[in-house]
């Protein structure tokens, strides 16, 4: 049977942003409903989360279940496993949060912390099998685990091709940039990269050849095969459907690439509605950055609820 309840804050999503915010709000003794999807989170393909002090290399599922256990010890926190389908405002200036199991929760504040969706290139056979293992989106996250192998870096601009020839040497002395023939500035990039001991290979990748997710070669649509053991490939991203709907329904402001715009307190343009983590940041996506944004949002939410109470 579905239930309609109310709380002080609904946190949507239990990645590092949502978990950190929920923990901070719990320690302020505020009432929180934390709703997380039963679907596998974005970083579940990875064997371990790297670069967060005290947790370096811990598997994502282990971190989540440990955090879930920690939160369950706080009397003011309620944990729910469900997909949030919609967030809308009510006539009374509160938020109405609808879950896919029919439950609804009303609250004066909501934190969106749903992360983003990576769009795997469907036309590239093998991409999803290698993702998070030998196809990596970020050398900070998984470079160490792929060090000493033959790398390819999929680029779409000349600056990145040149930058990667220098930056990725730290992990691999055999790195080539891979791009389309039509990339502007290709010849200049090729000259610069070659002067640094690297190379630029052009073509359209059609297949990744791998053994159980361990890449050994890249195949182009003209049949050429290039031996590579690691690909750095950052696919496009999109917002989770619930956020895309909130952007339309609540007229949220987004940047040119579709990431939510927030102020220094992680508040969107809608009073009481906060957003933290990857969904509000294209270039600062990490476990630590998301946790920090979640903590900032929680502090601001706490202050706003106190001020509301003071004002009556």
Ligand X SMILES: Cc1cc2nc3c(=O)[nH]c(=O)nc-3n(C[C@H](O)[C@H](O)[C@H](O)COP(=O)(O)OP(=O)(O)OC[C@H]3O[C@@H](n4cnc5c(N)ncnc54)[C@H](O)[C@@H]3O)c2cc1C
Using rule CB under 6 A, residue 112 touches ligand X: no
Told to check if 129 binds ligand X by CB under 6 A, we report: no
Q: Do residues 119 and 236 touch, judged by C-beta distance below 8 A? A: yes
Query: Are residues 176 and 224 in contact, defined by beta-carbon separation less than 8 angstroms?
Result: no
Rounded Cα gap, residues 59 and 44, in angstroms: 8
Q: CA-based Rg of the chain, rounded to a whole angstrom?
A: 22
Binding to ligand X by CB under 6 A, coded x per residue (else -) over 4-23, reads --------xxxxxxx-----
Q: Which is nearer to ligand X, 85 or 174 (CB)?
A: 85
Contact 305, 267 (CB under 8 A): no
Residues whose CB falls within 8 Å of the CB of residue 155, separated by 6 or more in sequence, listed in order: 161, 164, 177, 178, 179, 183
Going residue by residue from 280 to 309, which x/- string records binding to ligand X, judged by CB under 6 A? -----xxxx-x-------------------
Nearer to ligand X, 15 or 108 (CB): 15
Cα–Cα distance, 160 to 96 (Å, whole number):
44
Rounded to whole angstroms, the Cα distance separating 112 from 239 reads 11
Among 8, 103, 229, 278, binds ligand X (CB under 6 A): 278
Torsion 204-207-210-214 (CA) sign:
positive
Identified binder of ligand X from the candidate list 108, 126, 132, 152, rule CB under 6 A = 132
Which is closer to ligand X, CB of 130 or CB of 189? 130
User: How crowded is the C-beta side of 63, counted as CA atoms within 13 Å?
Assistant: 26
Question: Which part of the chain contacts ligand X (CB under 6 A), choosing from 22-30, 40-48, 165-173, 298-306?
Answer: 40-48
Give the β-pairing of 104-107 and 95-99: antiparallel
Query: What three-state secondary structure class fits 198?
Result: coil
83, 103, 129, 229: which one binds ligand X (CB under 6 A): 83
Residue number with CB closer to ligand X (45 or 209):
45
If the CB atoms of residues 145 and 174 are measured against ligand X, the closer one turns out to be: 145
Is residue 121 near ligand X by the rule CB under 6 A? no
Contact between 266 and ligand X by CB under 6 A: the answer reads: no
How many residues form the binding site for ligand X (CB under 6 A)? 38
Residues 231-250, one symbol each (x = binds ligand X by CB under 6 A, - = not), give ---------x-x--------
Interface residue list for ligand X (CB under 6 A): 12-18, 35-37, 39, 41-43, 45-46, 49-52, 83-84, 113-115, 118, 132, 137, 141, 240, 242, 277-278, 285-288, 290
């Amino acid at each position: 049977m579905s239930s309609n309840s109310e709380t002080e804050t609904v946190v949507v999503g239990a990645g590092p942003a949502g978990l950190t915010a929920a923990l901070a709000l719990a320690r302020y003794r505020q009432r929180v409903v934390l709703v997380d999807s039963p679907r596998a989170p974005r970083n579940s393909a990875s064997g371990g989360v790297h670069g967060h002090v005290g947790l370096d290399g811990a598997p994502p599922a282990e971190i989540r279940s440990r955090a879930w256990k920690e939160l369950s010890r706080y009397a003011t926190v309620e944990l729910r496993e469900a997909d949030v389908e919609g967030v809308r405002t009510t006539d009374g200036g509160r938020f109405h949060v609808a879950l896919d199991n029919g439950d609804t929760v009303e609250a004066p504040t909501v934190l969106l912390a749903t992360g983003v969706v990576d769009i795997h290139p469907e036309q590239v056979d093998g991409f999803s099998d290698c993702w998070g293992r030998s196809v990596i989106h970020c050398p900070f996250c998984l470079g160490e685990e792929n060090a000493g192998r033959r790398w390819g870096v999929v680029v779409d601009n000349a600056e990145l091709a040149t930058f990667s020839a220098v930056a990725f040497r730290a992990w691999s002395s055999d790195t080539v940039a891979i791009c389309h023939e039509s990339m502007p500035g290709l010849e200049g990039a090729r000259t610069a990269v070659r002067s640094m001991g690297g190379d630029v290979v052009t073509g359209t990748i059609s297949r990744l050849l791998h053994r159980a997710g361990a890449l050994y070669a890249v195949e182009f649509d003209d049949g050429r095969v290039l031996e590579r053991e690691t690909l750095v490939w950052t696919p496009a991203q999109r917002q989770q459907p619930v956020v895309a709907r909130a952007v339309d329904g609540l007229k949220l402001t987004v940047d040119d690439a579709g990431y939510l715009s927030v102020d220094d307190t992680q508040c969107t343009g809608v009073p009481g509605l906060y957003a933290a983590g990857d969904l509000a940041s294209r270039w600062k996506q990490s476990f630590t950055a998301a946790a920090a944004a979640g903590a900032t949002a929680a502090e601001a939410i706490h202050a706003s609820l106190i001020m509301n109470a003071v004002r009556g």
